[in-house]
Structure 1
Amino acid sequence: MKRLNLWAAALLLMLGASMAHAELTIEITKGSDQAIPIAIVPMAGGEALPEKVSRIIGNDLERSGRFEPLPRESLISTPSSSEDVYYQDWQQLGSDYLVVGRVENQNGQYRIQYELLNVNGEDRMLGEVVTSSPEELRDSAHYISNQIFESITGIRGAFLTNIAYVRANGVGDNIKYTLNIADADGHNNQVILTSDEPILSPAWSPDGKKLAYVSFETGRSAIYVQNIATGQRVRLTSFEGINGAPAWSPDGRKLAMSLSKEGQPEIYVMDLASRDITRLTHSEAIDTEPDWAPNGDSLIFTSDRSGNPQIYRYNLSAEQAQRITFTGSYNSRGRFSPYGDTIFMVTRDEQGFHIARQNLETDRMTILTESNWDESPSVAPNGTMVIFATQEGNRGVLGLVSADGSASFRLPSPEGDVRSPAWSPFLN
């Protein structure tokens, strides 16, 4: 029964799917009390643009959970350069930082000039001119958000990244599945694979150019790798039984996975150049959901060898696995932070399934989400946010939560059930 419970949860993770070209839209569900107040003045000349650069920057910073942009109706003036700023006005408004700028159309190209100002210090922290084509306006705005975020926090911004996810549309025997990629804010959705059968567990290559995933298009599970730009795909495994949970090594040369070709699901590693497969775990339990440590010296995985699903760490040099989660009776789907000092996971308590984090030095676990049916966490490449799948009524949606749990968001889709999110690495 315990194993059935584990695989019931695993199947729910698998059955997340996607269809259509509809974009995700972000909704705030909880704001941080420690968010930094920042005023983002609409850029002069920017309101006539097809993409509102200032609005995108404000949404990015708010979505990080670290900033609280002042409402536009609260702005007491609309300066377009630091020379026009009266700092005392913004100090009285309670803003710690101020972003001003202007956009000019120069022969079909946009010249975006922006400045970041420290209100209390009354100085200019950052200033830059960005040239953009009309098609690149959103990316240019995300780039500016990255620069502002890093200048204030010292942490690299992750607004110019992508997410992959699966959407399912339809009912009964008429369900269509798609594998989608989109900007980190849910815009610019692209369908890169359509299938009549489930698509599961997308995983980004470290260079952001490929996705590994599981597909049932042949009638049983198989692991594929697809080039995002060209659409070219290769089937890596299609053994009898389970072929699941692909995870790239940090150098991109290997793929960890869960296979049951020798009986119980175990953790294997494939060398992608030679296609040689090495079995790592040897137990009578279900071993699945591997994830590599950032330095490549170990993997974590989910196993029920202790009687309930828990997370174990496999040391590649010692060739040994050690249990690392002990809080609660159910912990699964562990994912490393980019720094290797923390893991994020699904944990269960009396209210349901939540996203949690555990410090690997202190073993302290903290529950981050308040929803009750959360799954499939994936960590932003700068470690500040976690995207996950959850339920909203009777349909699957994506959620975002800050790494400290102080802020959370929803990314509902206008149609279909959405599951299995995966956050890309840095793409620039």
Structure 2
Amino acid sequence: MLRRKFLLGLLSLIASSACFAQLTIEISGAGANRLPIAVASFAGENKLPAAISEVIQFDLNRSGVFKLIDTAGVAAPEVPSPDFSQWRGRGADALVLGTVNSLADGRMEVRFRLFDTTKQSQLEGQAITFRTETARRTGHQIADIIYQRLTGLPGIFSTRIAYIERQGKRYRLMVDDSDGQNPQAALISGEPIISPAWSPDGSRIAYVSFEKKKPIVYVRPLGSSMPFVLANFKGSNSAPAWSPDGRKLAVTLTKDGLSQLYLLNADGSGLRRLTTSAGIDTEPVFSPDGASIYFTSDRGGSPQIYKIPAEGGNAQRVTFEGSYNVSPRISPDGKTLAYIARNNGMFQVTVQDLATQQTQILTDSAKDESPSFAPDGRTILYATEVGGRGVLATVSIDGRVRQRLSSAQVGDVREPAWGPLAK
């Protein structure tokens, strides 16, 4: 049996015909006790624009859970009973073999098998039909299946990320695969775009645009070029955050004076004020159960994280360590708070166990911002600065595995948001 101790853990968006630079991932650190797995080249995949086996290898490697075994020079047809001793000799505890075939209707089919080389048994075997242009997505799908079969946890390789890219005076709201290899522009503007936020079902993105020379909150259905205005009140409209059921959003407005939190329906109706303080209340985020909203406020004299019932009421302070804590995000299981803390002049991704209030700094960079949990809660995506340029990075929840997503052709990249699990 493969060891369970390895439990470490969408649409086409085309706003321009321009080609966008792919992000490269640099991995540092590694999870302990990584599972040795061999993913052989799939027969027939040379006819595809992206080799499915390479997508799977890249996904599993960047998870920090698996150790990839070199398969170069090994002929490995997709058969029900491979030469297990050969793969055990190479150090592989798990093995993936596959074949890609063309179908009569123009589609493609990939068949793959996952084996336990120790027990010499097949753990998984499926056939998936797809179109040539979705080969990368199919690779992510298979990587998700393998990950879940070997760890018992859902894979996140088919998920998507959003971020803001700035080149000169041009801003782009980008939507990309989680590996940074399929960037698409959902919006291009000559004015700043900030604060992208995914709807819980992944079908819409809320964001703030300065297109009208003031911050206005919009919601854009993916696959559509027609956003609608969610909040355009007097003053500033910012920081949208979806409720877990997708029916409401919390926003920050200055319509009545200082920045305060308001709640409104997803169609823009039903505006209701949530906070009333003498300070600045901003950056709301719902708890996974929808019962509470966490936010940043300087009502106590310095920026700290607070929470308030989602229906309104008294706010409670959540962070007490340090004099500057902002940008709260809650893990999908509701147990961990991620935020940006200032430590000796450095702004770093920090996590706090909400039950014990114990904190841990996860990064050693100095200008981190905008943390965002992966849907499995095991990885945090954030923006940081390297050489005066904004880049994206990820860190595992225990701080062991760090990755930097970068490209020499991409400008300043900021404000990432990790989308939900693929449906």
What amino acid maps onto 2:230 in structure 1?
Answer: L
Instruction: Report the residue type matching 2:124 in the other structure.
Output: L
Is the 2:275–2:312 contact (alpha carbons within 8 Å) kept by the matching residues of 1? no
Report if aligned partners of 2:274, 2:312 keep a CA contact under 8 Å in 1: no
1:105 and 2:111 correspond? no
Q: Distance in 2 between matches of 1:79 and 1:375?
A: 46
2:294 aligned partner, one-letter code: I
The CA distance in 2 between the partners of 1:404 and 1:166, in whole Å, is 27
Tell me which of 332, 337, 349 is aligned to 1:338. Answer: 332
Does residue 1:23 correspond to 2:22, yes or no? yes
Q: Is it true that 1:421 corresponds to 2:411 in the alignment?
A: no
Identify if the C-alpha distance between structure 1 residues 350 and 81 changes in structure 2 by more than 3 Å, giving closer, same or farther. Answer: farther
Superposed displacement of residue 164, structure 1: 0.9
Deviation per residue, 1:206-234 (Å, 9 max, x gap): 12111111111111111111111122111
* 3-state SS in 1 of match to 2:146: helix
CA distance in 2, matches of 1:196, 1:274: 25
Which of 86, 97, 102 lines up with 1:89 in the alignment? 86
- Equivalent residue number for residue 132 of structure 1: 130
Partner of 1:36: 35
> 2:344 maps to which residue?
350
Q: SS of the residue aligned with 1:136?
A: helix
The CA distance in 2 between the partners of 1:20 and 1:335, in whole Å, is: 32
* 1:142 aligned counterpart, secondary structure: helix
1:92-171 equivalences in 2 (<5 Å): 92-107=89-104, 108-170=106-168
1:306–1:36 distance in 2 versus 1, CA, 3 Å:
farther
Give matches, 1:195-210, under 5 Å: 195-210=189-204
**Matches of 2:26 and 2:57, distance apart in 1:** 14
Query: Does 296-305 or 29-38 show the bigger shift?
Result: 29-38
Q: For residue 241 of structure 1, give the secondary structure of its aligned residue in structure 2.
A: coil
Map of 2:262 onto structure 1: 268
Partner of 1:57: 56
Shift of 1:143: 0.7
Alignment of 1:373-392 (within 5 A): 373-392=367-386
Alpha-carbon contact 2:144-2:154 (below 8 Å) kept: yes
Q: Which has the higher contact order (CA 8 A, sep 6+)?
A: 1
Q: Is the 8 A contact 2:30 2:64 kept in 1?
A: yes
Q: Structure 2: which amino acid aligns with 1:424?
A: G
CA distance, structure 1, for counterparts of residue 228 and residue 412 of structure 2: 27
The equivalent position to 1:320 in structure 2, one of 292, 303, 314, is 314
> Residue 3 of structure 2 corresponds to which residue in structure 1?
none
> 2:189 & 2:421 partners in 1: Cα distance?
28
Structure 2 stretches lacking a partner, 5+ long: 1-17
SS at match of 1:232: coil
Q: Quote the residue 1:9 is aligned against.
A: none
1:250-269 aligned within 5 A = 250-269=244-263
Deviates more, 1:365-374 or 1:25-34: 25-34
What do the CA deviations read for 1:342-371 (whole angstroms, capped 9, x no partner)?
121112212611112211111111222222
Q: Secondary structure at the match of 1:159?
A: coil
| Stretch moving more, 409-418 or 272-281 | 272-281
Q: Which of 181, 193, 199 pairs up with 1:187?
A: 181
Unaligned 5+ runs, structure 1? 1-18
- Report deviation, 1:168: 0.6
List per-residue Cα deviations over 1:48-107 (Å, max 9, x = no partner): 43211111001111222222212344x766353341222x33334332211112222233
- Separation (CA, whole Å) in 1 of partners of 2:403 and 2:71: 21
Q: Provide, for residues 165-208 of structure 1, a one-character-per-residue CA deviation record: whole Å limited to 9, x for no partner.
A: 111111xxxx1111111111112211121111110000011121
User: What SS class does the counterpart of residue 391 from structure 2 fall into?
Assistant: strand
Match of 2:67 in 1: 68
* 1:15 alignment counterpart: none
* Separation (CA, whole Å) in 2 of partners of 1:69 and 1:147: 17
Deviation per CA, 1:317-355, whole angstroms, max 9, x where unpaired? Answer: 571211111222221111111111112111221261111
The answer to whether the Cα contact below 8 Å between 1:310 and 1:331 also exists between their aligned partners in 2 is yes
Distance 1:112 1:394, change over 3 A: same
Percent identical residues: 42
| Distance (Å, rounded) in 2 between the aligned partners of 1:312 and 1:71 | 49
- Partner of 1:371 in structure 2? 365
Q: Please report how far the alpha carbon of residue 116 of structure 1 lies from its aligned counterpart in structure 2 after TM superposition.
A: 1.1
Aligned length: 404
| Counterparts in 2 of 1:418 and 1:103: CA distance versus 1, 3 Å | same
Which TM-score applies when normalising by structure 1?
A: 0.90
Q: Is the 8 A contact 2:231 2:268 kept in 1?
A: no
8 Å Cα contact 1:266-1:281 kept in structure 2: yes
Equivalent in 392, 396, 402 of residue 402 of structure 1: 396
Conservation of the 8 A alpha-carbon contact between 2:229 and 2:268? no
Q: 1:294 aligns with which of 273, 288, 295?
A: 288
Structure 1 residue 142: Cα displacement: 0.8
CA distance in 1, matches of 2:46, 2:302: 56
